[in-house]
Amino acid sequence: MTDRVRTLRDAAAFVDRAGLALVFAKAGVPLPSLHEAVAGPDARWVDEREDGKLAMTPDLAKVWAWKDELAEARLACAGKHVRGWPALVSLTLLPSLYALTGRAGGPADFRDVVLPPLEREVAEAVLDAAPADALEVRRAVGVRDARRVARAIDSLQRQLVLTRAGTIKREQGWPGTAYDVLPRRYRVDRLPKPDEARAHLAAAVLRTASELSSADLARVLGFTRGEAAVALDRAKSEGPGTRRALLPP
Rounded CA-CA distance 205/220 in Å is 9
Q: According to the model, what pLDDT value does residue 243 have?
A: 45
Q: What are phi and psi of 56, to 5 degrees?
A: -55, 145
Low-confidence ranges of the chain (pLDDT < 70): 1-2, 47-52, 54, 238-249
Q: How many helices (H) and strands (E) does the chain have?
A: 12, 7
Can you give the pTM of this predicted structure? 0.90
| Nearest one of 93, 103, 66, 247 to 181, comparing CA atoms | 103
CATH of span 103-185: 1.10.10.10
Q: According to the model, what pLDDT value does residue 224 have?
A: 94
Q: According to the model, what pLDDT value does residue 110 have?
A: 98
Q: According to the model, what pLDDT value does residue 245 have?
A: 45
Q: According to the model, what pLDDT value does residue 241 have?
A: 46
Q: According to the model, what pLDDT value does residue 56 have?
A: 77
Extents of the domains making up the chain: 8-92, 103-185, 194-246
